[in-house]
Structures are given as structure tokens and as C-alpha cells.
Amino acid sequence: MAIDHDRLFKELIQTFFEEFLLLFFPDMHEHIDFRHLSFLSEELFTDVTAGEKYRVDLLVETKLKGENGLIIVHVENQSYVQPSFPERMFIYFSRLFEKYRTRIVPIAVFSHDALREEPSVFSIEFPFGDVLQFRFFPVELRKKHWRDYIRHDNPIAAALLGKMGYTESEKVELKKEFLRMLVRLELDKARQRLLLGFFETYVKLSEEEEQQLQREVKAMETKEREKVLELIISYEQKGRKEGLEEGIKRGIQQGIQQGMKQGMKQLIRNMARKGMTVEDIARLVDLPEEDVRALLEK
């Protein structure tokens, strides 16, 4: 099943919005009054020329310290390479400004795996002068090295380690440090599961790597080791429980469908025994005539 990257990033940043700004934009964080914070409904824009629809990822209404007017922070996750992305950010900005008529802070999180120069400017220029220079605030995750963030007691830093720059040979250590960060953060169970689920969506260890991780965890100091193991066991138990519940649910649905199918067969045969024509039966049960005939022939 395809990963809904935008939904995952939206849930993560919405849950830890203040921590997100503190980690990547400390100057911006310093000016925002987080006592006034509300998440706006999604905006859907249609590109008539391209025939595509785009949904804005996250809109946050807030205030600046010492000011009465509202501002809007727009955070957009970009999970694939798109050369025209700066233009799309400008279109979002202009349409949002047209609707809300207030100052807007545009932020783009580049979460794809490509190492490339991502422009953060959209401009319209002529030989005789510039018309437009639109800029947004970029976060290029793959260019950030995961080791630079493991000392941050910040849940966003922990979750996004798996989207930062690392090598395949560092995966076990990466997950170990992520678990250590999660233990230090001492979050409630719901937020722990959010971070664990996000991280493990993007960082998957092989069976051999998981065994290596277990060995390294067991080599930790007693107190830390116990908390990390408790975290791993709790998450694994929840995964097994959800898998069992999904299996039961799927079994019930299949049973209902099978029961309905058998009931439909019996109903059609009873109608035929009473002398009803195939045409009348098909009309009453809302099935094609050829399906009714096939059931009767069996």
C-alpha cells in the first residue's frame, strides 16, 4: 500500500508545531505567540491549466508577540522532486492571501531522498526590471545529518532522524539513538506511538539488523536499557493487537459477504420455484439476467 507522506507529515507537525518551529526556525519561534494557535481547515486549489487539484498541507492561524493582528503559517511537505515547486508555493501564497488578506509565512519541508539544490525563490523578471521575488522558508531534510540532532530533546528531531542524511551501515545506530531520544522525552503513550510509527515507516531494519539492535540495547546501562526494552515491547504488542483486530474484522466482513451471497442464491431459487421468470427475478434483486440464469443452472 502506498504511503500517504503528506498525511503523516501533517499529523506529526500539527501535533508538535511549536517544537517544529523551535528546531528549524528558532528566530521565528521567538516572535510567535503560541497562546493564540488554531489549525485551519484544508484548502483545495484546482490548477485549471494542468487539470490537477492540490491540497494545502497545513495552515496555522496565530499571532506575533506584541501585535493584535493574526498571521497564517503555511507548512507544505514535498515528498518528491518537482522542478516547478517554487511556482506552486507562490500560487498557494497568492490564493491564501486573496482569501485571508493577512500576512502569511510560507514554509516548505523537502522530505524526498534526492540530494539536490532546492530553490526557495520564485521570480518574474524582464531585461528592464524585476516584477516579483517570492521567497519561502525551506527545510531540506536529506541535507541535515542525523548525528547533529540526537542531543536535541525535541520530538520533531527524533521523528525526522529517519528522513535525514544517513548511510545504510548506520541504520542500527540510528534506531538505537532514536529510541534513546524517545525515552528521554518521556511523552505520553499516544505521542510515543505517533513518533514510533512515523520513524518506522521510513526506517525498516532487516531481521539481522533487529537482532544487532537488541544486542546493543542489552549493552546499555540498566535503567536506560529497561526503558528502551519496555518501549520496544509495548510497540510490538500494540502492532500484534492491531494486526489481530484487523484480521478478525476482515474475517467478519468476509463472513457477512459470504452469508449475503448464499442468501441471495437461495432467494433466487425460491423465486424460480414459484414460477417467476428470469426477467422478473433480475429486476427484483437488481442483478443482470445472465447472472440469475447462471445461478439457476448451478
61: left (phi over 0), alpha (psi -120 to 50) or beta: beta
3-state secondary structure the chain: CCCCHHHHHHHHHHHCHHHHHHHHCHHHHHHEEEEEEEECCCCEEEECCCCEEEECCEEEEEEECCCCCEEEEEEEEECCCCCCHHHHHHHHHHHHHHHHCCEEEEEEEECCCCCCCCCCEEEEEECCEEEEEEECEEEEHHHCEHHHHCCCCCHHHHHHHHHCECCHHHHHHHHHHHHHHHHHHCCCHHHHHHHHHHHHHHCCCCHHHHHHHHHHHHCCCHHHHHHHHHHHHHHHHHHHHHHHHHHHHHHHHHHHHHHHHHHHHHHHHHHHHCCCCHHHHHHHHCCCHHHHHHHHHC
The verdict on residue 7 lying in a domain is yes
Which of 94, 115, 143 terminates a domain? The answer is: 143
The verdict on residue 35 lying in a domain is yes
Which of 94, 122, 143 terminates a domain? The answer is: 143
What does DSSP say about strands 58-64 and 32-39: parallel, antiparallel, or unpaired?
antiparallel
Look at residue 230 in the predicted model and tell me its pLDDT. Answer: 83
The verdict on residue 269 lying in a domain is yes
My answer on whether 135 and 252 are in the same domain is no
My answer on whether 127 and 265 are in the same domain is no
Look at residue 52 in the predicted model and tell me its pLDDT. Answer: 64
pLDDT above 90 for 267: no
The CATH number given to whatever domain includes residue 273 is: 1.10.10
My answer on whether 127 and 245 are in the same domain is no
Which range, 54-58, 69-73, 251-255, has the best average confidence (pLDDT)?
A: 69-73
Look at residue 199 in the predicted model and tell me its pLDDT. Answer: 94
Look at residue 235 in the predicted model and tell me its pLDDT. Answer: 66
**234-258: pLDDT as tens digits:** 666 555 445 444 554 555 456 545 6
% of the chain at pLDDT higher than 90: 62
Look at residue 256 in the predicted model and tell me its pLDDT. Answer: 43
My answer on whether 124 and 254 are in the same domain is no
Look at residue 252 in the predicted model and tell me its pLDDT. Answer: 44
Look at residue 47 in the predicted model and tell me its pLDDT. Answer: 64
Look at residue 80 in the predicted model and tell me its pLDDT. Answer: 93
The verdict on residue 29 lying in a domain is yes
| Domain residue limits at 78 | 1-143
**1-33: pLDDT as tens digits:** 678 899 999 999 999 999 999 999 999 999 999
Look at residue 297 in the predicted model and tell me its pLDDT. Answer: 77
Top pLDDT among 88 and 279 is at 88
Average pLDDT taken over every residue of the chain: 86
The verdict on residue 207 lying in a domain is no
Which of 143, 165, 185 terminates a domain? The answer is: 143
**171-218: pLDDT as tens digits:** 999 999 999 999 999 999 889 999 999 999 999 999 999 999 989 988
Domain count, the chain: 2
Longest Cα separation, the chain:
88
My answer on whether 7 and 137 are in the same domain is yes
**120-166: pLDDT as tens digits:** 999 999 999 999 999 999 999 999 999 999 999 999 999 999 999 99
The verdict on residue 164 lying in a domain is no
The verdict on residue 155 lying in a domain is no
**94-106: pLDDT as tens digits:** 999 999 999 999 9
pLDDT average, residue stretch 216-234: 84
